[in-house]
Amino acid sequence: MLKAVLEDTSLYQPGLSIDCVIFGFHDNQLKVLLIKTKYSEKWALPGGFVPVDEDIDQAAVTVLNNRTGVKGIFLRQFATFGCAKRNDSDFSSIVLDFYGIPKEKGEWYTNRFVTVGYYALVDFSQIIPQQVGKNETVEWIDHHAVPELILDHKEILDKALETLRMELNLMPVGYNLLPEKFTIPELQRLYETILGKKLDRRNFLRKITAIGILVKLDEKKSNVAHKAPNLYSFDKQKYQEVVKNGLNQGW
């Protein structure tokens, strides 16, 4: 990808890049989508450059698809990272050497870049990444087992997780992440997995019920060892209204 960019850098906005943090939840696991290249022992977030003829939000979609094959998910811009020394000259040299690009031709790449962070939360069982480049591997990795990342990608990942957790105070999650019918404990475990902490059962039930997005079904979960819990579903219309208008509570 870099080699193609350097063939005509006039097609890309100088000094501006995009990095995507894609979180995936399924079966009480929270994972993050990472890339491993052949020119580094470290992993990386899917990232790339901004075409001059694309809006930055559209460029984020393009970058994610070009690096992972993933498309059709909503990306939310969450922060900009512009530390003066975020570019590593040694790392840049390694990349240029790997692709056989002379230093003078790669000067555009070695200059300072400000990167815009985007994040998303999806069901990782429904998102199958593809190895787009022959020199890259793309994998879902448990967020508790993230290996060493290049440049400031750990800082970007941490900020994205912090933002995701803050967003739980502003809007509900669960739609498209849980089965159509679910129990309150299953919904609570989703929140606990994202927040990284245990929540009081009664307090959670009170708060989540007060939001008004749940429909209690006249069904109970089957094939359970103990007392069968009630099943619920989301009221899609009310859920979308709350997403639009926001919440004002804390977990």
- Rounded-to-integer distance, Cα 185 and Cα 169, Å: 19
CATH 1.10.10.10 in the chain, residues?
184-245
The hierarchical CATH code for the domain 2-167 is 3.90.79.10
Please write the tens of the pLDDT for every residue from 37-76. 988 999 999 999 999 999 999 999 999 999 999 999 999 9
Give the pLDDT band (50/70/90) at residue 224.
low
pLDDT in tens, 129-145: 998 877 789 999 999 99
Residues carrying CATH 3.90.79.10, the chain: 2-167
- Mean pLDDT is highest, among 104-108, 167-171, 214-218, for 214-218
What does the mean pLDDT of the chain come to? 93
Q: How many CB atoms lie within 10 A of CB 49?
A: 25
Mean pLDDT of all residues in 203-224? 90
77-109 per-position pLDDT tens digit: 999 999 988 888 889 999 999 889 998 889 999
Domain covering 184-245, topology: Arc Repressor Mutant, subunit A (1.10.10)
pLDDT of residue 225: 64
Evaluate whether 23 touches 160 at the Cβ level (below 8 Å): yes
Q: How far is CA 116 from CA 80, 83, 86, 89, 198, in A?
A: 4, 12, 13, 20, 32
DSSP strand pairing (114-122 vs 12-26)? parallel
pLDDT at 229: 87
Residue tagged 């230093």 (tokens)? 103
